Amino acid sequence: MGVRGFDLLKMATTLPKPVPVVMLTAHAFSPESLKKSIELGARAYLPKEGLGAVVPFLEDVLTYEYGPVWKRILKQVEGVFSDAWGPYWRKPDEAFWKEFEKRIEAKPK
């Protein structure tokens, strides 16, 4: 409350020693906010409706590499986003999503 989430995300990820940030949202649960969270360096994205599962969710974030965590998150939000915005919710930012898919499929170095 009283803090702009994206401002806080940007601050945390641009520190000399960046802090991993999980975006927890109710009002900003949208394809645009998901994309912006990824672009600004969020480690994960969770709707407030998922708060009951926050412990296993955070365990996943702390256990798995960047790619596998985002694959799991996208699998979870895909249905909700498709129901709310239609099956082509990625279409307006198709190039971004294709590039992001490549990035999360890549093996960590």
Question: In total, how many domains does the chain have?
Answer: 1
List pLDDT tens digits, range 12-60: 999 998 888 888 887 778 899 999 999 999 998 888 777 777 888 888 8
Give the N- to C-terminal CA distance of the chain in Å, as an integer: 38
Nearest to 20 by CA among 64, 53, 56: 64
SS3 16: coil
Residue type at position 34: L
Res 25: pLDDT: 80
- Return the HEC string of 88-108: CCCHHHHHHHHHHHHHHHCCC
The residues, ordered by sequence, that sit 6+ positions from 67 with a Cβ below 8 Å of its Cβ are 103, 104, 105, 106, 108
pTM over 0.85: no
List pLDDT tens digits, range 73-87: 898 888 888 998 999
Q: 46: domain range?
A: 5-105
Q: 45: which strand partners?
A: 23
Token pair in block for residue 17: 């020693």
Res 94: pLDDT: 95
Contact (CB, 8 A) for 23 and 37: yes
